[in-house]
Structure formats: structure tokens, C-alpha cells
Chain A
Amino acid sequence: AQSVTQLDSQVPVFEEAPVELRCNYSSSVSVYLFWYVQYPNQGLQLLLKYLSGSTLVKGINGFEAEFNKSQTSFHLRKPSVHISDTAEYFCAVSVNSGNTPLVFGKGTRLSVIA
């Protein structure tokens, strides 16, 4: 079975500073990896995904993530955050065979401070 660990439950950061949200996964088979963002009282929105190919994945809103197979990590980064990036961020994994559901981490609350 797959599992996802998001190492930080809360990350406060000043506006225009860089940020990294950490995600590690566990799986005995190859996986697809995802980052979703959830704004208050809204559903989840896909930020980016890694399926195959280049290990550096670029997503929406200036976010990027790097897949590291040896470290079993998929950390999310942004070089300069804005107040509007304040939200809950979820890392998720699915087995890369067939139509399998997502297994989510517990989430990281990013708070951008003016």
C-alpha cells in the first residue's frame, strides 16, 4: 500500500520569500505524484503532477516540484510567495497502473505573512 508523509503541518513565511513544502512517499511500485491546493471552503485544485519524464515539474501559480526517486520525495517549491498563496497544500500519490484512487498526506498549512 502507498502512504504519504507531509513533514510540516504548518509553514509560516513572509511575503516574497521562498518556500518549500516537503512530501515523502512510500510505495513498493511505481507511482504518480500530485500536489493539490485547497483554499478555504473550496475543493481541491491540481497544482502539478509527475507522471514520467523530467523530474522537475512546473505547475500553476509559479509552483514547481522535483521528483527524487532515491529519496522518495516530491517537494513543492515557490521562489517568491504572495498573500494569495495562503492555503492548505496536499501531496498525493497513486499507483501508475490503471485507474487508481489518490492517497493523500495530511496537508501543510501555508500562511503567508505580509
Chain B
Amino acid sequence: EAGVAQSPRYKIIEKRQSVAFWCNPISGHATLYWYQQILGQGPKLLIQFQNNGVVDDSQLPKDRFSAERLKGVDSTLKIQPAKLEDSAVYLCASSLVFYTQYFGPGTRLTVL
């Protein structure tokens, strides 16, 4: 069974530029999560989807971050414009049953 796929693995941009990350969850997983992991900290939830509907986006900085999940499968997370403090690893996870999440390898973003 293929795992959660993410791309790109690494991205370097300058502040005020835009960036997008892509996630393909495990086939059949209805729930998809985006987490932000700042260096030295644990992952923090940004947004949770159930199929293509948003369940929780209370910690998403909506002035600059946006996310969508078209057709309830793939998802994209966008940052526009990026700030220095957005430098982090962005992790995508998916789950079939509600208590076991499977994580992708992450996208490491560096904002200069």
C-alpha cells in the first residue's frame, strides 16, 4: 500500500513570495490533515478535511494561508505572501479510522 505522498520535499523562497505544497493521501482515506512543524517543536495542526469539507481550520492563519481538497482526494496548501516565521516542515497526514494517522515525508520550507 502506497503511503502519503508530498511534494516538493524542499523549497526555498524569499519573503513575500508565494508557495504551494501538494499532498496525495493514502487511497480511501477520507480525513486529511496539514500540520506545521517548526524546528524544535512538535507538529501543530493547521487544517483538517473530511472528504472535501473543512472540519477544523481554527489555527490556520487565514490572512496568508489557504488550503483546498478537490474531489476529496489530493490537497494543496498555499502561503501567500510568505513570512520568515513560516520556515518550517509542512506535514500532511491521512486517516481511515479516526484514531490512526499516517504521515507523509513532509515539505521543508525555508523563507529567506
Contact = CB atoms under 8 A, between A and B. Distances in A.
B105 A51 contact: no
A48 to B, nearest CB: 11
B45 to A, nearest CB: 4
B45 A101 contact: yes
Chain A contact-residue range equals: 20 to 34
Nearest to A101: B45
A100 interface: yes
A36 B98 CA distance: 16
Contacts of B108: 41
A101 B103 contact: no
28 contacts: A4-B42, A36-B103, A41-B105, A41-B108, A42-B106, A43-B6, A43-B91, A43-B103, A43-B104, A43-B106, A44-B43, A44-B91, A44-B103, A45-B103, A46-B100, A90-B43, A96-B99, A99-B95, A101-B33, A101-B45, A102-B45, A102-B101, A105-B42, A106-B40, A106-B41, A106-B42, A107-B41, A107-B42
